[in-house]
Structure 1
Amino acid sequence: MENLSRCISKERVLESVKNFTGRPNVKLLDGMEILRATKGVEGLTSIVIRVKTPYCFSGDDGKILWKTFIVKALPENLFQLDVVERCRLFVKEVIFFKEIVPLLSKAAAAGNVSLPLPKCFFAAGDGGSDSIYLEDLSEAGYKIPDSTSFTVGLDLDHSSLVMKTLGKFHAITYAAEKLLLPSKNWVAEFPVFSRDSIFYDPIGKDVVSPLFPLVKSCVETFVTMSSQMNGLPKQPDFTGALTKALENNWPNLCRLVQPDPQGFNVLSHGDCWINNAMFLYDGGRPVDLKIIDFQISRYCHPAVDIFYFMYLCTRREFRDKNLHSLVLEYYNSLVYYLSVLGFDVPPITLDKLKEDLVKYRAFGIAINSSFTPTMLLGEDFMPSNSGELSVEQLRDLYDTGNSSALLKKFKSDPTFRSRMETLIREFVDWAIPQ
């Protein structure tokens, strides 16, 4: 196990405890426990550490108290660090917690509304020792869904709660923008949001998005799999049309994450999928949700968050049956919280949202075809012995989207093949309906 203590600053732990307690006379004691909080892909762009520290108050009775924090620190792997720095992921998350969350809190306080995210006790982005000290949600019983959710998709209870929470979060970010940033928007106030962290067109050899090769490589993988499927044409004109449609994935992603100049925009989460959603359960049923990880927050149409979740966290048959009812739950939540926060006239009608969703479905289709296959790999993607991704595996993920592992499992695993065929047919039905 690596020496995680190198990622922890006792001064920052002390400052976090002071901010947690609201008292200046905190004294840290010996016996701090430092452990990895996540593994592999769950900490792909950060080292995520659970720090449990004993402390007492100077001048009191000396009673020993304990507090646990989740600490996010820069990865030490040079390949990961390059990705983080090129995309300014840590910079954006530090700004989110240091500067944006106080604005959200002020807006939410007007309606006595709680923020659906972890509390932050310290954040620093001073270069080289960037770190964020957060509330450990697991202490209150919050947890990420069971690992089977990666492959089978989330059910209606989980999905409904996510839609309601996104509606609440978007309402708060909209209220903060209008109440606290008069005549401005989030992009004007925080230029870090002027270019998307991930989805942007290559403008030079040194500024290509790390995910561009992954999305590009999915074209060949998809075409190879489609050629082995029954029920799809094999003639060259079909293959050419499929390749052309797949090559539009990246331009679609880059275009649709931009703010809608004539539409309704919010500060969105940007990465709302299973790994970034922690649920509180009561008798096995999810009753509350906190969203985590704001490294790729973006200012855009709310449909981007909706389809990001729906296409990465649910399966086609579920979407075909429940998408419209879930969109209604999102909209009702948005309108309710906007009303509580003082906005009686919503900035978008339900009919306009539904109209916009037709256009933004291209984002969901592109996300689904580019990233869901790797998620469906399950344990074949994550090594079971160490729980860590090697540099070689990271490079394979970013450069090829694990194409060799995908094709191997497509041939050998009937369940995986069936799910991939469903995914491919959904793309074909949308892109080449005839």
Structure 2
Amino acid sequence: MAEQGLLEEDCKQVLKKFLNSDNFELSSFKIVNFRNPLQGLIGEHFTLRIGYVFKDENGSQDFFVKTLSTNPFMSKFSKIIQVYEKEAFYFGLLDQFKRHQIDISFAPRGFFFKPYITVIEDLSSEFKGTPKRELFDLDHCLTSLEALAKFHASSIIYERCKSKELSKKYCIIDDYKELLEDKLEHNDNPLASKWLQASIEGLLQLIDLIRENHVSHDAFKEKLGEIQELGNPQGLISGILHSDLWTSNFLHRYKNGKPVESKLLDFQTIKYGFVEQDIAEFLMTNTCRTFRSQNSKLLIEHYYKNLQQCLGLKGLPSTEDFLQSCDNYMLAGKIRAILDHTFTFVADEIYVDVLKSEESFRKFLFDERGKWIIESYNKNEKFKNMLYEDVLELRDMLFS
């Protein structure tokens, strides 16, 4: 247990919160390693299995554990962008939300946090994920957007409650500015800047692989640079954003083969901003172009209807204004989606290769991302199809 940094006293704290009582006996605890090296970059995942006696009955409970990556470069990067601090902070906020009777059913329960260790509810017995490189269908989009609406509503309602308590306008970022800023886009640390620059350079190399057609590569890249300098538009509704809404950060409960409820995971890159940004990134990251042409309006309206149910209609923009505001964010959402896809859709054999050494992993993250993106594009059909469509759609959006 020492290698994961969890002690007997820590496990007692987990049980105390899980059972809502300190009248129990801890009988055993152990780590079960279920780590899948192809499922993510930020850290290591484990199961914590605790045996206990409560009210004269024996019990056993599994919990989900996250720890720092064993790769020193990823570990350093995680610390710089404060992923563990952000998640611990957010689960603490959820406790405050709950005390204000705000619906937090969109998230798992959080049980224990200490530096670079997170212990939360294990949902795997009831909720399941979708395959890593499969985009969402309509049903998965609908339930996921319902969870996202609850997530957004929770911080907005909390601000309303605090404003009423304080008899003045309250904004949560005023108290927690450091933890709610975008560490990847607004961090002065050279390592974070190198990660973002490597991502952009990988995108530029992808552009060179696509036939020029009516737009030259140079014009394409010049136009992209102009858009990056302009930044995001102003939105209509602000709150805490998730900002990492790819398919693997949702789990789903099924009935008769269809998702009926979704849970939102991984609050390690939260930030404060306009909710339309999350909506645009969700749609661009998790659905294909043809699907969006047929369903985007329906999905945004479904999200907004659920948000309105959580918040009430008073003071909210009209549905038409909200649809337009979301549309204004689609270009920024497309760029973020492409950067996400260069990670999440990369071929498994390429990913295994870059994990072979600390040096190759460092180059993949910060120096030579384009090299592996091009290799994956040339070798893996699913990666090629996704990124080819991404780049063509981005080109069309920039020059429409």
TM-score, normalised relative to structure 2: 0.89
Structure 1's 92 and 413: CA in aligned 2 closer, same or farther, altered over 3 A?
closer
Partners of 1:214 and 1:370 within 8 A in 2: no
Residue 243 in structure 1 maps to residue 221 in structure 2: yes
Residue 216 in structure 1 maps to residue 200 in structure 2: yes
Partners of 1:155 and 1:314 within 8 A in 2: yes
Which one of 130, 150, 156 corresponds to residue 145 of structure 1?
130
- In structure 1, what is the Cα distance between the partners aligned to 2:367 and 2:287? 24
TM-score, normalised relative to structure 1: 0.83
**Partner-residue secondary structure (3-state), 1:42:** coil
Which one of 18, 21, 25 corresponds to residue 19 of structure 2?
21
Structure 1's 21 and 353: CA in aligned 2 closer, same or farther, altered over 3 A?
same
Find the counterpart in structure 2 of residue 45 from structure 1: 42
The CA deviation string for residues 199-220 of structure 1, in whole angstroms up to 9 with x for no partner, is: 22x65x6464353123221243
Find the counterpart in structure 2 of residue 374 from structure 1: 343
- In structure 2, what is the Cα distance between the partners aligned to 1:210 and 1:70? 31
Find the counterpart in structure 1 of residue 148 from structure 2: 166
Which one of 58, 64, 68 corresponds to residue 64 of structure 1?
58
Equivalent AA in structure 2 for residue 14 of structure 1: K
Structure 1's 408 and 328: CA in aligned 2 closer, same or farther, altered over 3 A?
same
The CA deviation string for residues 179-237 of structure 1, in whole angstroms up to 9 with x for no partner, is: 1254221111212245312222x65x6464353123221243123212xx3x6247xxx
**Which runs of 5 or more residues in structure 1 are unaligned?**
none
Partners of 1:105 and 1:115 within 8 A in 2: no
- In structure 2, what is the Cα distance between the partners aligned to 1:148 and 1:92? 26
Find the counterpart in structure 2 of residue 196 from structure 1: 182
The share of aligned pairs that are identical, in percent, is 19
**Partner-residue secondary structure (3-state), 1:64:** strand
Find the counterpart in structure 2 of residue 87 from structure 1: 81
Which one of 248, 267, 271 corresponds to residue 275 of structure 1?
248
After TM superposition, the structure 1 = structure 2 runs for residues 17-416 of structure 1, keeping only pairs within 5 Å, are 17-30=15-28, 32-40=29-37, 42-57=39-54, 61=56, 63-98=57-92, 100-107=93-100, 109=101, 113-124=103-114, 129-139=115-125, 141-149=126-134, 153-181=135-163, 182=166, 183-193=169-179, 195-200=181-186, 203=188, 206=190, 208-226=192-210, 229=211, 232-233=213-214, 238-248=216-226, 250-251=228-229, 255-256=231-232, 260=234, 263-339=236-312, 344-383=313-352, 390-399=357-366, 402-413=369-380, 416=383
Partners of 1:87 and 1:209 within 8 A in 2: no
User: How much does 1:388 deviate?
Assistant: 6.3
Partners of 1:218 and 1:400 within 8 A in 2: no
**Partner-residue secondary structure (3-state), 1:18:** helix
Partners of 1:89 and 1:197 within 8 A in 2: no
Partners of 2:236 and 2:274 within 8 A in 1: yes
Partners of 1:47 and 1:72 within 8 A in 2: yes
User: How much does 1:263 deviate?
Assistant: 3.3
Structure 1's 43 and 407: CA in aligned 2 closer, same or farther, altered over 3 A?
closer
- In structure 1, what is the Cα distance between the partners aligned to 2:284 and 2:375? 24
User: How much does 1:329 deviate?
Assistant: 0.3
Structure 1's 134 and 345: CA in aligned 2 closer, same or farther, altered over 3 A?
same
Aligned length, in residue pairs: 396
**Partner-residue secondary structure (3-state), 1:48:** strand
- In structure 2, what is the Cα distance between the partners aligned to 1:328 and 1:242? 32
Partners of 1:27 and 1:55 within 8 A in 2: yes
CA root-mean-square deviation: 2.7
Equivalent AA in structure 1 for residue 232 of structure 2: L
